[in-house]
Amino acid sequence: MKSLRDSIAKPGTRVLLILTGISIIIFGVGVASFRDSSTESEEEFCRNILPADSIANSDSLSRCGGELESEMTGKPPGALTPGGSTRHSGKQIHAFEQTVDAYAKRWSEDGSEVPSAIRENMSNALAYYGPQVHLILLSHGNSVSGRNGIEISRESMVDFIQAVSQSERQFKRIYDSQIKFTTERVGSLGKDDFTNIPTGDTDKARAVLQESGRVIATLTQIHAVVIADRGDPSSEQIKADLVDNYEQYGKPRLVEMIEARAKAVGVSDHDMHASGTRGALLIQGTGQSYDAAARETDTSVSS
């Protein structure tokens, strides 16, 4: 699989990324180029993802997208995302796997985006599978662990999310579902989690916060690549958009969430920020996890 950088670093394209902090790194500058679309029509590609009897009535791309969404969720297109964990049938999981893998493979091969007519359907499905997507993004490389009964690799999921989130609306739909789940996980931590080092091998706070950093960094980095691909990376507007992306969606937002939870459960500012305290080490570990995931998302390749 191409890395995120490779997927746009073709002759004539621009690459500009935020990896850590708010540093802006420019890897190349050129003239914008357009990705070639598949010779197979988008309607045919959509219809061929699942067996004919699943989407036999599709007579347009938008209708096919709606039927794919329904096959994945078991609900009408655009149905409200359920709260908490939702059980999915084997048929729904299979449809989700097939759809993600089909569009992820196409993106990794030639950079073909998910068509705008069905991006909302795809982002709806990703939001519907929020907890499962979270677990997939926590995995590593191109291995398929089958966690939560879904066999999709992290690399395929990253490719699919990037192919879907070429518009701000779809990125926010995906991001909001993940930040909601992350908020719930951080919200499960109590005062002792922030102030006392647990005995044994299990450290709930450390696991929750570092995993949160990994997921949020992955999404923020995907968005950074999309932003960088909009224009000249040396322009002040692109630089400003990248800084805004980092501050609005990235590490600062996550750290603010952690600090707010600690304050809500009675952790003092000293215990959260003084050098060497449990709280300070948790924040430091979260930042390290975030930075590592941002680099991995940009440079990961299949073996």
pLDDT of the residue at 30: 34
Strand, helix or coil for residue 84: coil
The answer to whether 16 touches 27, Cβ cutoff 8 Å, is yes
pLDDT of the residue at 197: 92
Query: In the beta sheet, which residues pair with residue 28?
Result: 15
- Tell me: pLDDT of 1 over 70: no
Give 275-293 as a DSSP string.
TT-HHHHHHHHHHHHHHHH
User: What is the tens place of the pLDDT at every residue in 125-183?
Assistant: 999 999 999 999 998 766 665 556 789 999 999 999 999 998 899 999 999 999 999 99
Of 9-18, 146-155, 285-294, least confident by mean pLDDT is: 9-18
When pLDDT is cut at 50, 70 and 90, the band that residue 108 belongs to is very high
Write out the H or E segment, with its range, that includes residue 24: strand 24-28
User: What is the tens place of the pLDDT at every residue in 33-68?
Assistant: 333 444 358 988 998 998 766 665 667 899 999 999
Nearest to 210 by CA among 138, 285, 291: 285
- Tell me: pLDDT of 267 over 80: yes
Query: In the beta sheet, which residues pair with residue 18?
Result: 24
Of 52-66, 197-211, 287-301, least confident by mean pLDDT is: 52-66
Q: Which of 20-24, 129-133, 286-290 has the highest mean pLDDT?
A: 286-290
Q: Over range 13-37, report the average pLDDT.
A: 39
C-alpha to C-alpha distance for 177 and 173, rounded to whole angstroms: 6
C-alpha to C-alpha distance for 107 and 163, rounded to whole angstroms: 6
Q: Over range 108-125, report the average pLDDT.
A: 94
pTM score, two decimals? 0.83
